[in-house]
Every structure is written in structure tokens, then in C-alpha cells.
Chains A and B, each alone.
Chain A
Amino acid sequence: MAPILDIKNLYKNYGSVEILKDINVSIEPGDFLVLVGPSGCGKSTLLNCIAGLEPITGGTLSIGGKDMTHVSPKDRDIAMVFQSYALYPTMSVAKNITFGMKVRGVDAATQAAKLQEVASQLQIEPLLNRRPGQLSGGQRQRVAMGRALVRDPKLFLFDEPLSNLDAKLRVEMRSEIKKLHQNLGATMVYVTHDQIEAMTLATKIVVLKGGVVQQIGTPAEIYNNPANLFVADFMGSPAMNLIPAKAKRNGSGLDIEITRGDGAPIVLKDTHSGDLPEDVILGLRPEDIAEAGFRAGQDVQEAQCLIDMVEPAGADTYVVAELGGKQVTARLHAETKAQPGAMLDLAFDLGKVSYFAPGTGERLN
């Protein structure tokens, strides 16, 4: 299948400031692409470029196989949901939803039918005659979605649509957007700074930082094999443990040596990794460190650690120990007997390990 959105070598400058550098992304029909990164990383600018609201400085951008460089937003066959919802304050909900059709000269009967269809889909029929000012945050969000849905575009664009909702509503709307994507089979591009939103919604994630793509991949790839320290740290909560360590060749395997504040270093044996430089940063997610005896596998290595802190979180209990000068978090089962100030045997699953170069931050394995 031809890619529905194809971005090649895209650059975007404001004056002499480079906002986006050499962006290359393409998605297939039905994809849910999430652009994620910290604020100021250029993700919203990239979305605005896709929408045609910002001209691009270099490279090409095509939608449905057609070059879009000089096409205005209205002719790109896109619909967009904004962070502030951007509902027209003086128009009723119904008028908000039909405004785009009205501007395009769609006849009244079609407008009414479409409006009806979308309103029932989003369960906003009772709101149609209200003004945006009379709606709650969640209702406004639905109207904004309705305004996009009614257009039936090739591409849906979402600019942090959930960031103005409270936590509970955000989770609710998140699953609703996911359902919508599945039911419509529509193609969506979605901007967020929330990595959980990115993980739950995306079929494909682009991680951006400072206008540069850090990694592109499925949520699983990004989560399990982060391409660099930034991605490793940014995706996942609690964040991946990044522990300075020394790798030493020992026969067919590697000895991974981690210093401890209170005694001899821990040595973990890695039997399957190839050659590594001596100084590495070892990345291990909290769920890949368990209490000894609760995790099996040939790459599981056990070591005794001093527990500094215990944080029960209901389903799990997190414990923190100092390793390699870092606060390392491990996710244990809820009934653990771990006590702050006491020693505990922890099991490190080296089958899930990532190594990074301390200088460049690039992934090594």
C-alpha cells in the first residue's frame, strides 16, 4: 500500500532558528501515529506543518501521494482537533460541527444527516443547541471531535487533545479515541507529551527531542529497545533505571560490574551480549528487577542490595536501592517483606537489558 502521509527530509526554521531537522516519517492507511516528546521538541510544529498551517522550510510532505507543499489547509483533506478545542464561541454546537461543510457549500440535507450521524456516535445530541461556553470540558472535547469526524477526512490530526481534561476524564477519552480509531479504521496523527497516551494509542510512535527524531517504532520496540538514553528515560513510568557500570570480558560472556555505596561492587554475568566498551550505562526497567525467587530464566542474576525506601502502590510495591550512584527502582510483588535499611536479594533480568554509551547516549546492543 502507498503511504498516506509521507514526510521526507523535512526542515522547518523560524528565522535562523531550526525547529525541525531532517524529519523522515511515513504512515500507512489505518495507522495511528503518535508524535511524542517534551515541550518545545517541535511536535506541534510538525503537526502544524502536516496541516498546512505552517509552511515548511525544506523537504517534501505528501498526503495520499500528492505533494502538499503549496496546498492550503482546506484542500489537504484533513481534520484537526486542538488542545484548546478552538470551538467557535458564538456558534451553537450544531453550527460548530457543520461550519466546515457550510463553507464548502455542502447542501443542507447532507449537513443535517451528517450532523445527526456524528452526534449520535459521540452521544452529544442533547447539546446541539448549546453554545460552547455552556459545556463542560469533556463535552467540549466531544464537540471538537465531532467537528473533525463529520468531515470524514483522509487524515485526522490531534494536537494534545486531552491535556486540558482532568485525570479521570483523560483516561476515559483516551480509550474512546482508541475505540474510534478501531471502528473507523481512520488514519490519525496525534501529538502528546504524555508517554502513556503514546503507548496506549499508537501503532507507531515518533519520539522527538529538540526538533530531531530520536526513534521511530511500534510502542513495543520503543519500550523494549529504546534507541538512546533520552528515549529510555522519557518512555515508561516509573522511568527505566540507568545505571553506570563497567563491562569486562570474561570468557564467552561479560561481567557487568556495578559499584555500591556500602560494599563490594555487584557483578552480573551477561552471557549473550557482544563486545561492549568498558564504560557503559546499563538500562533496566523497574519490572525487570524482581525479588529473588520470583523471577526465573537463564539470564536472571541475583544480588544482595541495601533497600533505602519501600513504596507500596497497591498492585505492586516499589523499592529503591542505591546502585552505581543512582537511585534504582525495582517493581516487586505487593506482599514483599522488604524493609527500608535491610538487605534484600534482588533478581536482575539481563535478558531485557539495554546498554548505552555514556558519552553519546546511543544504544550499544
Chain B
Amino acid sequence: MTDFTHSPAANAAAPSAAPQRNWSQLALRWLLFALLGAFALFYLMPLFVMVTTSLKSLDEIRTGSLISLPRDVTFDAWRTAWSSTCTGVQCEGLRPYFWNSVLMTVPAVLLATMLGAMNGYVIAQWRFKGANLIFSLMLFGCFIPFQVVLLPMARMLGIMGLAGSIPGLIVVHVIYGIGFTTLFFRNYYVTIPAELTKAAKVDGAGFFRIFWSIFLPLSLPIVVVTVIWQFTNIWNDFLFGVSFSQAGTQPVTVALNNIVNSTTGVKEYNVDMAAAIIAALPTLLVYVVAGKYFIRGLTAGSVKG
């Protein structure tokens, strides 16, 4: 699905790459580059503005232009955003919330991925009566608007004693992540011939042995896709974070929103931008490092769904 290797137009353009290319073709080519460049600017502009704004002083922001480069680069806003800006009543910066997000995201990603791998393995390779029905039920679960589970979930977390806690958020993210992780692994494992499992059974290996010795070593690509997908979704989540956390346990997205939308005091736009970048950094980093897998997850999650 995400194999970008061959292009129909590539073939069309190839013969005309010769020196006798005419002027209208050249003009078209320039128009193409101009358009592509203009769009690139459109997509990059917000990032550019965020970065430059975060490096300006408030004075410069008030007097200067949105798109000008900072005259005096200062990291004050970053320092404030990280360790001393106010999210409502507390003024400890984003730092504690950033760690809340890490504490929430890492276990949730690992658990959901592990469960998805086992589920996908069962559904793809150990079919039993009703397995397809179970899979369909899980799949439909991926598509519900989460508003429909917010109220009962809040009560359930209260009953389990997990209300407003990070473990509570982990539980929520794992449960509503299973559908997608199962889908990813199931779609990957169905492409592995059933004869492999049969051969291993004849060789004497059991359910877990076959998983550990044969399927897991084959799974690196799909594990990467799943982990990135889960990581991005959970780190960026706001709805569950804002619904099921309390003052000390909020994830970074909720804290960011509190900083930006707090109505008290002077509006520190540079701090807002620095905070936004800090909140975005982990997923941006993952995207830059492993963009290929990120795209694969996006398309797998939508096209194959």
C-alpha cells in the first residue's frame, strides 16, 4: 500500500528528459515546482512561526511581525514553558506533565502492542469457530466515537479506584487501543502461510513456542508500525486525558491547553509556542526518524479497516 517506488508519470517524463525538451514543457515543469514549493511553505509556515515566536521576547512579538526572524534569540520562553509557567493554579511548567505523558504512554503502548500481537496471532493462525465474529466486534470497536463511553468509563474508573490516576489512563488507552493493534497484527499474520504453523506443530512446538520462535522474529516491521501508531495516538490524546485526569496527573496535551487558554495574567505567546513545541517534540521526532512506518500505520489503519 505505501510502496512509493514506481510512478506512472515517471515513465511519461523519462523520454522527454533529453536535451530537445521544448519550452512549454519547461514552463510546465517550473509551474509544477512553484506549486509544490508554495504548498511546502503553507505546511511549514506554522512550524516556522512557532519556532521563531518561541525564540523572541514578548516585546519583539508585540512590535515585530509574525514571520520575521527573531532579532535577539532568547531561550527564556523555553525555560519558562518547561519549568515555571502556570497551568491553572500550579506554576511548575510543562515538565511534570511531560513525565506524566511518558509514564502513561510507555506502558500503554507496550501492553496494547503485546495484546494485539497475541490476538492477531490467534485470529490469523489459530482460527476457531467464532474467531471471525470476535475480530469483527473488535474492529467495530475501533470506530466508535469515544464520547459514547466517556460517562460509563468515568464511573468504572471510580469503581476500580483508578479515577484521576495515571494507571487509570493506561487502562483506558490499552482497552481502546486493542482493536487497532489486533487489526495490525492480524493483517500481518494472515499473510504468513498457515503451513508454517502446521510444520511447527508437526515438529512438536506448542502455541507459545510457535509464537516466540517463529512469529515474533518475523514481526519486527509490524511491531514498529504498531508501536509508532499507538505512541502517536496516546501521546497526542486529549479527550481521555482531559476527562479522566486530575490536577497532578494530567498528560502534556491537557497541560498545554491549560497554559494556552489560561485567562489570568499577561499572555505570553512565546511561552505558549515553546510549550506547544515541547509537547509536539516526541511525536515529531518519531515521525522524522521513522516516517515510513508512521505512514504505513496510517494507511493500514484506514485502508485495511
Contact = CB atoms under 8 A, between A and B. Distances in A.
Given A100-B203, A103-B205, A51 B198 contact: yes
A52 B199 CA distance: 12
Interface stretch (A56-64, A80-88, A179-187, A301-309): A80-88
Interface stretch (B211-219, B237-245, B256-264): B211-219
Nearest to A98: B203
B196 interface: yes
B213 A88 contact: yes
B19 interface: no
B195 A74 contact: no
B233 to A, nearest CB: 29
B213 A53 contact: no
Interface residues of A, number: 27
A104 B195 CA distance: 20
Interface in A221-272: none
A336 interface: no
A86 B209 contact: no
A193 interface: no
Given A84-B193, A88-B213, A99 B203 contact: yes
Contact of A80 (B202, B205, B213): B202
B201 A73 contact: yes
Contacts of B218: 89-90
Given A82-B195, A86-B195, A51 B202 contact: yes
A241 B37 CA distance: 74
A78 to B, nearest CB: 6
A42 B196 CA distance: 20
Contacts of A86: 193, 195-196, 198-199
A206 interface: no
Contacts of B69: none
A280 B203 CA distance: 51
A90 B199 CA distance: 14
B265 interface: no
Contacts of B196: 86, 88-89
The 5 closest A-B pairs by CB, nearest first: A100-B203, A74-B204, A90-B217, A86-B199, A86-B195
Given A53-B198, A72-B201, 19 more contacts: A51-B198, A53-B201, A73-B198, A80-B198, A82-B195, A83-B195, A86-B196, A86-B198, A88-B200, A89-B196, A90-B214, A90-B218, A91-B213, A91-B214, A99-B205, A100-B203, A103-B205, A147-B199, A159-B195
Interface of A: 48, 51-53, 72-74, 78-80, 82-84, 86-91, 99-100, 103-104, 147, 151, 157, 159
